[in-house]
Structures are given as C-alpha cells and as structure tokens.
C-alpha cells in the first residue's frame, strides 16, 4: 500500500498549512483544536483556538475555570454544547483520573462530546495509535479514489473508508496519515472544485481517471430544518440611577445552553400585537401598555438545522418576567456570554441609546 502513503506523506510534508495545533503533540491542545473544528472552519477556528489556549493554557486552568468564563471565550463560535463538553471533561480528567489524559481511542470516547472521529484524531496524532480518523474530507478523498457508491456520511461509507485505511496506518506515523488525508480533502480534493492537477493521488484516483470526480461522493439526504419564533422582551431601566437590563440564563437541552438572553417567549407562529396582549406571562407582569410588534426589531438567524425568527420588542414590565431574571447593569454586560443575536442587539441598539439618551446620563 506504499503507492498511497509515500506520495501522500511527501505531499503533506511540503504542502501542509502551518496551523498552530500542528506544532505540538500535547493531547490537551490537540483535543481543544479538534473540538473547535468539529463545527467550525479552520480559518475561523484559529483565532478562537489561540484565544482559548491563551486563557486556559493547561487542562488544570480549564478544569478550575467557571463555566461562564469558558462561555465568554467561546462566545460567537456557536454550538455551545462543545464548550460545555470541554469543561465537563476537563473537570473529570483533572479530578478523577487523576490528571492523566486518556491515551487510547477507547478511553477518549468515554469523554463528553468525543465521537469516533475526534477520538481517533487525538489518539493517532498525540499517541500514534493506528486508528482511522474519518471526517468529511477523508470520506470525499476515498470516495473519489475508489468511486465508492455510498452516500456522504453514511455508516457504509465510513466503514469502507476504515477498511481502506487500516493497512495504511501500520506503515508509517498514523497521525501524519490521518492529517494528510484531512488536509488533502480540505485544500485540494474540495467538494465542488477539486484541484486534481495538484493531487498526489491523481494517478491512483479512479474518479479522476474517468473524469467523474465531481460525481463523488454521492450526496446525502438533506436534514430537515426546524423553524422557531422567539420574542425577546427588552426592558432598559434604572436601578440606583444605573442603566440596567433584565436578562436570564438559558437552561439545558436546547440551543445556547448556559448563555444569557433577554427574557424570551417562544411562540408557535409569528407573533402579532393582538396575540401578545393575551400571553399569560405578559399580562401578569404589570404591563401598562400593550407591546407593539410593529415597533420590534426583527432578526433572522440561521443555525445548521434551525432557522430562528427573532423579534426584539421594548417593554415597560414592572417586574421581571421570571424569578430567574436578573437586573444587569449595562456596564457589566461584557462579563456575561450572550448568543450572537443578543450580543448584536446589545451593541447596535442598547449601548448607543444609553450613550445618546440624557435620561441615563
């Protein structure tokens, strides 16, 4: 199988991108990079990785940090369950293992947020365990090289890729082979526009030889997108002559877990002023004026599998919407982690209003 590994590793040695997590075999640093890259492009992930490592340079720093501090560093990166999993696993490793980073594929899979690919990537790169790290890039490469007739991300395709890679990983450094294949898929064997003239495997690629490289891999069925309607109640008020805003923390089991937001009501359909006047939560909060949805700020926010329709509406609530709400001074909002739509609203509408409105001077 040297016909694959020799040209692949030679190409990787000379063509790989200079990424910060490739300058170490420290399993903690590799783990952080792999979790960040689970749902993030490399060009976007670099700055977050560097900020995260600067703030939490060791597993001990991460384990002893508060979850809010972790969220503040993660803020804007999305898929916040990843931050929760990192924090939970760091505490588990630090407090119970004790401080011995799991060094095998099997051990790594026991940690929160680590599946087959991430466990294999860490085990092969940090500990040279010969296990295949199969992500979308790797599946795309092998689908084209062998014209595999399985849909992208299907269990059948992953199994076939694993079978192809098993004999390769025993020939050289498994971490280098895994990284080389991922790099090849990310930079050369691209989804829509493969640069076959630069590929070290072009002479071995059946799809290239037949001119069908754009036909592989076979497309997977698109997942259904969920549509949701959020009404955020914005109440800028004075407390001891200090401009404040009501916020609440989101619970577990949904998007933005652990982050903060304005008090929010989710509706089954787009809200209108008439329907808002009859929402029980609002009528019990001492509203002196009916909320006017026509004056709300509307934002459409897309996630991978959800489309959020968000309305930010100014209210004159006399008391917090729920017992969990806190009155936060606007000068302290930087201490709390917010989802991107909330953070954008704070900086676009509320802070300029405070700076320009003499009522809050």
Bridge partners, residue 261, by sequence: 248
Indicate if 34 belongs to the active site: yes
Helix-strand-coil split of the chain, %, nearest 5: 50, 15, 40
CA 72 – CA 139 distance, rounded (Å):
34
163 near 175, Cβ under 8 Å?
Answer: no
Q: Is 288 left (phi over 0), alpha (psi -120 to 50) or beta?
A: alpha
CA 239 – CA 241 distance, rounded (Å):
5
Which of 34, 129, 183, 248 is the catalytic position?
34
Q: Is 240 left (phi over 0), alpha (psi -120 to 50) or beta?
A: left
Q: Is 147 left (phi over 0), alpha (psi -120 to 50) or beta?
A: left
Residue 220 CB coordination number (10 Å): 12
CA 178 – CA 74 distance, rounded (Å):
27
3-state SS assignment for residue 361: coil
Residue 135 CB coordination number (10 Å): 23
- C-alpha separations of 305 from 150, 227, 293 in Å: 23, 9, 26
CA 298 – CA 125 distance, rounded (Å):
46
- C-alpha separations of 209 from 203, 223, 253 in Å: 7, 32, 48
CA 322 – CA 280 distance, rounded (Å):
12
Strands 226-234 and 264-267: antiparallel
119 near 87, Cβ under 8 Å?
Answer: no
Active site residues: 34
């Amino acid at each position: 199988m040297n016909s694959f590994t020799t040209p692949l590793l030679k190409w990787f040695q000379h063509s790989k991108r200079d990424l910060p997590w490739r300058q170490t075999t420290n399993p903690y640093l590799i783990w952080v990079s792999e979790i960040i890259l689970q749902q993030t492009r490399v060009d976007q992930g670099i700055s977050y990785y560097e900020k995260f490592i600067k703030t939490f340079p060791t597993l001990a720093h991460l384990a002893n940090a508060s979850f809010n501090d972790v969220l503040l560093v993660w803020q804007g990166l999305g898929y916040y369950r990843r931050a929760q999993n990192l924090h939970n696993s760091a505490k588990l490793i630090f407090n119970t293992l004790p401080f011995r980073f799991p060094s095998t594929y099997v051990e790594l899979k026991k940690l929160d947020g680590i599946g087959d690919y991430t466990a294999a990537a860490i085990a092969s790169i940090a500990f040279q365990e010969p296990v295949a790290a199969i992500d979308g890039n790797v599946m795309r490469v092998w689908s084209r090289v062998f014209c595999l007739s399985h849909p992208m991300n299907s269990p059948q395709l992953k199994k076939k890729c694993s079978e192809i890679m098993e004999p390769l990983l025993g020939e050289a450094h498994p971490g280098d082979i895994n990284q080389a294949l991922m790099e090849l898929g990310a930079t050369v064997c691209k989804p829509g526009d493969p640069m076959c003239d630069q590929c070290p495997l072009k002479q071995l690629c059946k799809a290239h030889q037949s001119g069908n490289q754009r036909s592989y891999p076979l497309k997977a069925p698109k997942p259904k997108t969920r549509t949701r309607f959020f009404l955020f109640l914005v109440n800028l008020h004075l407390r001891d002559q200090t401009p404040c805003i009501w916020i609440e923390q989101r619970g577990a089991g949904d998007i933005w877990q652990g982050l903060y937001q304005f008090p929010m009501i989710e509706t089954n359909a787009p809200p209108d002023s008439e329907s808002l006047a009859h929402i029980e939560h609002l009528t019990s909060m001492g509203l002196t004026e009916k909320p006017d949805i026509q004056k709300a700020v509307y934002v459409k926010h897309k996630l991978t599998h959800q489309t959020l329709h968000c309305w930010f509406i100014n209210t004159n609530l006399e008391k917090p919407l729920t017992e969990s709400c806190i009155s936060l001074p606007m000068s302290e909002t930087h201490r709390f982690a917010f989802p991107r739509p909330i953070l954008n609203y704070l900086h676009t509408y509320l802070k300029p209003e405070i700076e320009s409105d003499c009522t809050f001077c």
